[in-house]
Structure formats: structure tokens, C-alpha cells
């Protein structure tokens, strides 16, 4: 195994590329560097004959809780660096020519939702949940979430999740069609391993054509979503509401938004 000091572990074995967010003390919050590491790993193995499937998961009690608001990658004045890295990582998951299993081992929040839903088969522990918490700090979903969530559960439920920052427990996410399956926490690791190994031993060309056909039919707005979200997010990052939202987040209090640009 090779360990990425930026918060991503990668390994290849038994036909599987395993990508593991490894910042458990930060609940696997991501930075531009760790997001680019996801894209680098997938792009570098896209044509590797030894890789028949990939698994994206997290270490500890979270899958990924979004961008690290306390990191240098969210330097001020606001930068597009993290947004661009998130878009690149999501696009790399979508473009990977073999099945990608999103193994959500705990909370998936913020861009963690985008990363999970970009995978072809997204499964979760019973105790996991999905949360688009952006409006809590005066921001909007990014990483393609506005397309990925709506493509799975429809406009009304997607807007409820995004506008109200609704926490969606994994069993409800399954019932809504957001994810493919839910496993008991105690059985999760073995269940994911069985699923991933099955995909790795399957008909890779059929999987590739099927994945691309379904994604091309349902995610036709993904590229446009990246562009719309990037513009909106950069405007919001420069707003007074984000200043207040970030301060409230760091001070662990309720935000008082003004609506002033």
C-alpha cells in the first residue's frame, strides 16, 4: 500500500483499486490536494489491465464530511482551487472505465455527497447519512451535486435536501433511490468486499458500456452543473453571508444571515 500524506491511501490488489480518505481526526474532510489525489489515482489507473474495479471509502467513523473549512486550501480571498479539484475528482470517478463502488462507511456531507454519488454503485452502513449542509454557511452545493442528487431522487427531493440542509439517513436514502444498497454496520466491510470482488471478476467491457450508457442518459447536465456551481460558489464565497456562516461554524453557534452580497 502507498499512503498519500495528503489524506488519501491508495492500493491495488485482487483486481481492485482502493482509494481511502485517511484523515479520521478531521472526519475525512478534504482539501484541494486530497481531491486532486483522487483524480490522479483514477486517471493513472484508467488503462491498467490489473485494475477491474475501484472502491472509494473512508477511514474511521466518516466517509467524507466535505471541504476542510479550517485548511489553507480555503485561503482568503476565496479561491477556486478547491472547487476545481472537487469537479476534477467527480469527473474522474464518472470517466473511470470500470465500475467504481462508493463505500459510505459513515457521514457523507458537502462535497462528500458528490464524491459518493459520482460512483456507479453507492452503498452505505445503516448508521450513515447524507447531508448537503452548504446553506448552513451561506453557500450552495458544488462538486456536481446539483446534477447528481437531482438525477437520483428528482427535483423536489433534491431541493429539499439542498435548501433545508436535510440530513438523509442511509435507509431513507435507499428508499428514495439516492443509493444502491444499505448494509448493517457490522457486515459492511465484508459486504463491500464481496460486491467489489464480484465487479472485478465480471465482464469489464459490458460494465464499461453499461456505465457509460446510463450516465450519459442521466448525467447530461453534469458538466454544466460544474460551471454553474463554480460561478455561484465563488460569488457566495465572497459574500457577507459566508463570512458570517464560516464564523458561526467555527464558533459553534447559529448563523445570522443578512442576505447582503
Report how far residue 128's alpha carbon sits from residue 62's, in angstroms, rounded to the nearest whole number.
8
Rounded to an integer, the average pLDDT of 122-150 is 97
Q: How many Cβ atoms from other residues are within 10 Å of residue 61's Cβ?
A: 14
Asked whether residue 77 carries a pLDDT value surpassing 70, the answer given is: no
Residues 6+ apart with CB under 8 A from 28: 7, 21, 22, 58, 59, 60, 62, 63, 64, 65, 112
pLDDT confidence of residue 118: 98
Asked whether residue 5 carries a pLDDT value surpassing 80, the answer given is: no
Asked whether residue 182 carries a pLDDT value surpassing 70, the answer given is: yes
**Are 233 and 142 spatial neighbours (Cβ–Cβ below 8 Å)?**
yes
pLDDT confidence of residue 24: 95
Taking CA atoms, 77 is separated from 73, 90, 119, 240, 242, in Å, by 11, 25, 32, 13, 12
Longest Cα–Cα distance in the chain: 55
Which range among 58-62, 72-76, 107-111, 223-227 shows the weakest confidence by mean pLDDT?
A: 72-76
The whole-chain average pLDDT of the chain stands at 93
Rounded to an integer, the average pLDDT of 53-71 is 92
pLDDT confidence of residue 69: 77
Topology given in CATH for the domain delimited by 3-205: 2-enoyl-CoA Hydratase; Chain A, domain 1 (3.90.226)
Q: How many Cβ atoms from other residues are within 10 Å of residue 51's Cβ?
A: 21
**Are 143 and 114 spatial neighbours (Cβ–Cβ below 8 Å)?**
yes
Task: Report which of residues 3 and 96 the model is more confident about.
Answer: 96
pLDDT confidence of residue 73: 45
Report how far residue 83's alpha carbon sits from residue 214's, in angstroms, rounded to the nearest whole number.
26
Specify the DSSP element, H or E, that contains 86.
helix 81-95
Q: Read out DSSP for 200-215?
A: HTS-HHHHHHHHHHHH
Q: Give per-residue pLDDT as tens, 198-209.
A: 999 999 999 999
Asked whether residue 158 carries a pLDDT value surpassing 90, the answer given is: yes
Task: Report which of residues 77 and 46 the model is more confident about.
Answer: 46
Q: Give per-residue pLDDT as tens, 245-254.
A: 999 988 999 9
Rounded to an integer, the average pLDDT of 113-127 is 98
Asked whether residue 257 carries a pLDDT value surpassing 50, the answer given is: yes
Q: Give per-residue pLDDT as tens, 9-22.
A: 999 999 999 999 99
Report the chain's C-alpha Rg in angstroms: 17
* Angle at CA of residue 26, ends 256 and 72, nearest 5°: 70
pLDDT confidence of residue 93: 98
pLDDT confidence of residue 6: 65
Amino acid at each position: 500500500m502507498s499512503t498519500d500524506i495528503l489524506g488519501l491511501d491508495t492500493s491495488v490488489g485482487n483486481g481492485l483499486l482502493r482509494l481511502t480518505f485517511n484523515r479520521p481526526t478531521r472526519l475525512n474532510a478534504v482539501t484541494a490536494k486530497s481531491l486532486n489525489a483522487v483524480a490522479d489515482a483514477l486517471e493513472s489507473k484508467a488503462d491498467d489491465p490489473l485494475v477491474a474495479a475501484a472502491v472509494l471509502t473512508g477511514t474511521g467513523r466518516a466517509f467524507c464530511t466535505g471541504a476542510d473549512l479550517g485548511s489553507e486550501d480555503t485561503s482568503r480571498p476565496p479561491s477556486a482551487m478547491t472547487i476545481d479539484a472537487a469537479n476534477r475528482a467527480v469527473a474522474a470517478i464518472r470517466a473511470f472505465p470500470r465500475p467504481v463502488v462508493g463505500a459510505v462507511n459513515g457521514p457523507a456531507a458537502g462535497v462528500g455527497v458528490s464524491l459518493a454519488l459520482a460512483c456507479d454503485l453507492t452503498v452505505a452502513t445503516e448508521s450513515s447519512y447524507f447531508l448537503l449542509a452548504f446553506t448552513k454557511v451561506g453557500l450552495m452545493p458544488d462538486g456536481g451535486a446539483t446534477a447528481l442528487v437531482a438525477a437520483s431522487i428528482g427535483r423536489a427531493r433534491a431541493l429539499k435536501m439542498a435548501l433545508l440542509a436535510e440530513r438523509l439517513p442511509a435507509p431513507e436514502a435507499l428508499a428514495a433511490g439516492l443509493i444502491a444498497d444499505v448494509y448493517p454496520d457490522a457486515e459492511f466491510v465484508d459486504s463491500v468486499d464481496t460486491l467489489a470482488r464480484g465487479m472485478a471478476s465480471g465482464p469489464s467491457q459490458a460494465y464499461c458500456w453499461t456505465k457509460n450508457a446510463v450516465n450519459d442518459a442521466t448525467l447530461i447536465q453534469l458538466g454544466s452543473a460544474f460551471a454553474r456551481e463554480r460561478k455561484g460558489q465563488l460569488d457566495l464565497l465572497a459574500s457577507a453571508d459566508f463570512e458570517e456562516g464560516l464564523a458561526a461554524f467555527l464558533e459553534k453557534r447559529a448563523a445570522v444571515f443578512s442576505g447582503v452580497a
